[in-house]
């Protein structure tokens, strides 16, 4: 493994996404449905899990900056959506979501550039 800390963080992030998805499907479903946030929460979980797995791949490839940027993006993107869905009076977090999305996009671009420059891939 080329980056153990990144791989560990990505694996823990993936585990958290599964736990939050299960929580939403069972314990929070009625609350989220009543508040009209089921789709938003599901989107947050999907992006959280997908990009946690991608960060694991980036860790294996040794692309630590791209991987950490991806996890930071997930934290801001999915994390802000989770909080917006679950808490009241946190509308100030709304602008955080697109910042997380931009970080996720930037990490994918950084990965693409690194793969194009690499002779090993």
Query: DSSP letters along 32-77, please?
Result: HHHHT-HHHHHHHHHHHHHHHHHHHHHHHHT-HHHHHHHHHHHHHH
In angstroms, how far is CA 8 from the centroid of its own chain? 14
Domain that holds residue 39: 4-117
**What proportion of the chain, given as a percentage, has pLDDT over 90?**
92
Burial of 45 per CB tally in 10 Å (0-12, 13-18, 19+): buried
Q: Give the residue-averaged pLDDT of 47-53.
A: 98
State the total domains in the chain: 1
Per-residue pLDDT band at 2 (split at 50, 70, 90) = confident
Handedness of CA 91, 47, 52, 57 (dihedral sign): negative
């Amino acid at each position: 493994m080329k980056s153990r800390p990144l791989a560990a963080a990505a694996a823990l992030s993936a585990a958290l996404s599964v736990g939050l998805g299960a929580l939403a499907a069972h314990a929070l479903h009625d609350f989220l449905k009543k508040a009209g946030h089921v789709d938003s929460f599901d989107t947050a979980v999907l992006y959280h899990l997908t990009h946690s797995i991608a960060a694991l791949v980036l860790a294996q490839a040794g692309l630590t900056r791209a991987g950490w940027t991806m996890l930071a993006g997930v934290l801001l993107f999915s994390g802000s959506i989770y909080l917006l869905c679950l808490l009241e009076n946190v509308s100030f977090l709304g602008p955080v979501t697109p910042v997380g999305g931009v970080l996720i996009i930037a990490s994918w671009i950084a990965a693409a550039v690194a793969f194009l420059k690499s002779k090993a891939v």
